[in-house]
């Protein structure tokens, strides 16, 4: 019973109402009312009677020494799991300790088993370039970023396995060193190139075969100027990463002839590009629809891309100043995006 019910039961009891009638009025089983007053039969019917008597609780199945061993094992190897710690835990009576107990002892020390966050693998040169970029654009407003059209390639697979990795860590340490899962790009069953801006999603172009400079130049000719004017206006800025096909001489020469202004983008910085957040959402949505073959996969991916709204893309663009501020605060390191 909660405190309000207990208080009402005591009030009824003081007026001489029977325990069975109290149970009926409070819609509580008679046995519960009877047990409560039996436990407190030697206590005055006062506020003190509202509190349960102290209980010893179930004794701990681990000693203080074992608790220290559990915490030390996890701190020394954050990539271990509860079953491994339980198997290595020294015992004197031969009784095994459950994985749940391992997790409870770790939680008592502020350690929780969590999925590793994905983050790009950054060298010192990457960090330096990212910091320079962030500082150079720190005074850009959201309106400035609304003039930028972002682009990139990605891929989706049927039955894609995202490969979650787990690590023991404390709260607020998800982006520290070994607590992250470092990622590299890979080709999937259906590859595509897309654009987006504050004005909404742009083209969704399926790539057939390996992307080389000739294929990419064809994509640029078909989509970039048209998408940029539609999403950002005539004086848009085009963002692309440093893929070798993107920086080929014929591609850069074409954009220069057409007067397409490009953004000097730092290498290995997917966390700074809002289109990567759209790709992550797209992949989750496609996986939930469970396409059965490659043709259906292509159709579903296109449908899900078209469902993104300008309100969603505008919110992503609005986050860019915060991303750059995190890069500056972390001296070029990974952001929480």
pLDDT in tens, 78-101: 999 899 999 898 887 777 889 999
Tell me the three state secondary structure of residue 188: coil
Supply 90's token pair: 């020294």
> Ramachandran region of residue 159, left (φ > 0), alpha (ψ -120 to 50) or beta?
left
pLDDT of residue 169: 79
Is the confidence at residue 130, as pLDDT, over 70? yes
- Computed over every residue of the chain, the mean pLDDT equals 87
- Contact status, residue 52 vs residue 35, Cβ threshold 8 Å: no
Average pLDDT over residues 243-261: 95
Average pLDDT over residues 27-35: 88
pTM: 0.66
Strand partners, 105: none
> Ramachandran region of residue 258, left (φ > 0), alpha (ψ -120 to 50) or beta?
alpha
Tell me the three state secondary structure of residue 48: helix
Tell me the three state secondary structure of residue 150: strand
Is the confidence at residue 186, as pLDDT, over 60? no
269 vs 116 pLDDT, higher one: 269
Q: How confident is the model at residue 187 (pLDDT cuts 50, 70, 90)?
A: very low
In CATH, the number for domain 123-329 is: 3.30.420.10
Q: How confident is the model at residue 1 (pLDDT cuts 50, 70, 90)?
A: confident
Average pLDDT over residues 148-173: 78
79-88: b (≥16 Cβ within 10 Å) or e? ebbbeebbee
- Contact status, residue 254 vs residue 292, Cβ threshold 8 Å: no
């Amino acid at each position: 019973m909660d405190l309000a019910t207990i208080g009402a039961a005591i009030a009824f009891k003081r007026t001489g109402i029977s325990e069975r009638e109290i149970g009926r009025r409070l819609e509580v089983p008679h046995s519960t009312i009877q047990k409560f007053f039996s436990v407190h039969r030697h206590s005055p019917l006062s506020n003190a009677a509202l509190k349960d008597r102290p209980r010893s609780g179930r004794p701990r199945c681990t000693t203080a020494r074992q608790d220290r061993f559990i915490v030390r094992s996890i701190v020394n190897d954050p990539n271990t799991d509860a079953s491994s710690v339980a198997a290595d835990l020294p015992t004197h009576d031969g009784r095994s300790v459950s994985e749940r107990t391992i997790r409870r002892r770790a939680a008592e020390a502020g350690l929780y088993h969590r999925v590793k966050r994905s983050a790009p693998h950054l060298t010192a040169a990457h960090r330096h370039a990212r910091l320079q970029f962030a500082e150079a654009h720190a005074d850009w407003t959201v309106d400035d970023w609304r003039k930028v059209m972002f682009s990139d390639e990605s891929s989706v697979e049927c039955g894609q396995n995202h490969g979650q990795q787990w690590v023991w860590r404390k709260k607020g340490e998800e982006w520290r060193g070994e607590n992250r899962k470092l990622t590299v790009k890979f080709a999937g069953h259906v590859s595509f190139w897309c654009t987006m801006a504050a004005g909404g999603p742009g083209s969704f172009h399926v790539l057939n075969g390996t992307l080389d400079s000739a294929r990419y130049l064809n994509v640029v000719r078909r989509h970039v100027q048209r998408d940029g004017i539609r999403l950002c206006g005539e004086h848009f800025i085009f963002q692309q990463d440093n893929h070798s096909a993107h920086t080929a001489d014929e591609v850069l020469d074409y954009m220069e002839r057409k007067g397409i202004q490009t953004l000097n983008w730092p290498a290995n910085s997917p966390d700074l590009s809002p289109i990567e957040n759209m790709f992550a959402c797209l992949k989750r949505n496609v996986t939930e629809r469970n396409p059965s073959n490659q043709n259906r996969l292509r159709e579903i991916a296109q449908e899900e891309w078209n469902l993104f709204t300008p309100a969603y893309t505008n919110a992503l663009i609005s986050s860019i100043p915060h991303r750059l501020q995190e890069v500056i605060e972390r001296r070029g390191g990974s952001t929480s995006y």
